[in-house]
Amino acid sequence: MHRRDFLHRLGAGAAGVWAASAFPRTGRAQTSSPAVRPNVLFITVDDLRPELGCYGNGIIKTPNIDRLAASGVTFTRAYCQQALCNPSRASLLSGLRPDSVKVWDLRVHFRDTVPEVVTLPEYFRKNGYRAEACGKVFHTNMDDRKAWDVPTFFPRASRLYSKGTLEHVDYLALKARAEGKGEAFIRDHVRGPATEVENCRDEERWDGEIAETAIRALYRLASAKQPFFLGVGFIQPHLPFVAPKRYWDLYDPKAIPEARNPYPPKKALMISLNANDELRDYEDFAETPPPWKGRLPEEKRRRLKHGYYASVSFIDAQVGRILNFLGRLGLAGNTIVVFLGDNGFKLGEHGSWSKMTNFEDDTRCPLIIRAPGAAGNGRKAEGLVEFVDLYPTVCGLAGLPRPDHLEGSSLGSLLNEPERAGKEAAFSQHYRRHVSAPLMGYTARTLTHRFVEWRYMDTGNVLGEELYDLIRDPLENVNIADSPENAKILEEMRALLRRTCPVRPRRGPALLASQSSDLRVELELVNELGEEVTIYEIDADGARRWVHSLVAGKQMVIDTFLTHPFVVESLSGEFHRVCYADYPRRRVVLRR
């Protein structure tokens, strides 16, 4: 049999040998001795809210994720630390809260704010693991070279859209350039349709290729002499919703219920809402109103939710392929499986689509952990937990010492006794710009209430507060912060929030942002590292812009401005430095 056929047969099918009965639900999760270190399969899914069968949704079809839940512990109240891809992933993979890792937007790379931090996969790599990744584990274009033994695999042979739609997107980009739009605008705002239905094979879409590559990685890693940490990052159900046609065919859009609260919360601060900016970037939804100005037509609402459900079922099939293959290789009994969505997602709730708020639909995420031998396998843990808890949890399950820098708590006790209480509160936050001043909204979520405090970042002064009674108002439809009868609980929640998120002035997201200067200078870089480096210019938003590659033994001169920062990073990721020019010229020798 050809190796390709062998891989296909092992990876195909949904049931396979990893059914729930194959994993014991008795015993206790044990830390492992160095001789029998467990493998780690770390699966992240973009924009996946707890809209799954194992979370009580009887319409959506997710049999493979449901089977994983039946053999692991399902956390019903798990919260990300910020409902946006880059900050959420930077936080959970570094073990630091957003204010500590200093990443609050899609532009800043955490290596430029906390260059010495050891990420979760890097820590496993330092402790004898082979660490590899397929797809979006760290945020796209924010991958970490130090984390992996080989560069992360990103899809190459597959497509986001059909060929015809891709040609149309190219036309839109040409049109934008002709109108004088810059490349940054085109990259961020010129997009095709928000949905597309094409009759194609799974492998012709990005996530199908990611699953295929993960299966090949497992096949190779299974014969290695060291344990592995394999990160697999799926991109759907992030917009656009482009699952193959057979997943759309699973649903009647009229049978999918719409949001129960398609209107903004009463008395909510306007800055607390998502203005639907992300959805408006897609060509066929350019006229989407913000939630305070109206709703989308019913046909468009149903098309979006249909597309989301189809995309989730598409991802479920890819997860099934990987877990099925893991079982056929005989690795399931010695592999920790972590499955999560990086943040939630609104599907019309509060009149919004996408994420980027502090509300429940945005911050609550699916989280399933299957630890070999855990007594709680097959049960639900209903206590409050946070994504910042994942780093110490996985370390503990693998028998690795807890790194000193972590800000979360291990969930090991809940894996053995899911009925135990979780945390007192889960904390999240989100960044906004208000009248050109940066704002941060911090939220504390307890079992009974959600409190939100919006502060000016540069001063720490409070702009406004929100309080929601989750017992009487679980959909967070009425802000009761200004009601006199709630003064005591408001004071208690405020104190609770400030213990974890203290009030202090902070610089905005662009920590290394270039400053305007008229004084031209030169920066000379000499590479004596013995390996190639990449040089990034940092723009006014704190984002990296590629400038040049500099091979070992060579030098280059950059004509720039006095206050302009550059980041130099080696291909291995072991060297990282922020460089500024001086007047009239500064020479920097790059060496360890």
- Please identify every residue annotated as catalytic: 85, 139
Report yes or no: 445 and 426 within 8 Å, Cβ to Cβ.
yes
Give, to the nearest 10 degrees, the angle between helix 298-328 and helix 63-70: 50
Token pair in block for residue 322: 């990987």
Query: Residue 14 burial (CB < 10 Å; 0-12/13-18/19+)?
Result: middle
How far apart, in whole angstroms, are the C-alpha atoms of residue 103 and residue 112? Answer: 10
What does the DSSP assignment read for 1-60? --HHHHHHHHH--SSTT-SGGGS--SS---PPPGGGPPEEEEEEETT--S-SGGGT-SSS
How far apart, in whole angstroms, are the C-alpha atoms of residue 392 and residue 402? Answer: 6
Tell me phi and psi for residue 390, to 5 degrees: -70, -45
How far apart, in whole angstroms, are the C-alpha atoms of residue 435 and residue 57? Answer: 41
CA angle 489, 492, 498 (to 5 degrees): 140
Report yes or no: 426 and 408 within 8 Å, Cβ to Cβ.
no
Q: Tokens 């790379």 label which residue?
A: 109
How far apart, in whole angstroms, are the C-alpha atoms of residue 434 and residue 232? Answer: 36
Instruction: Pick the closest to residue 76 from 475, 464, 419, 337 (CA basis).
Output: 419
Which residues are CB-contacts of 329 (< 8 A; sequence separation ≥ 6)? 10, 218, 219, 222
- Is residue 473 helix, strand or coil? coil
How far apart, in whole angstroms, are the C-alpha atoms of residue 444 and residue 502? Answer: 12
Amino acid at the residue 484: P
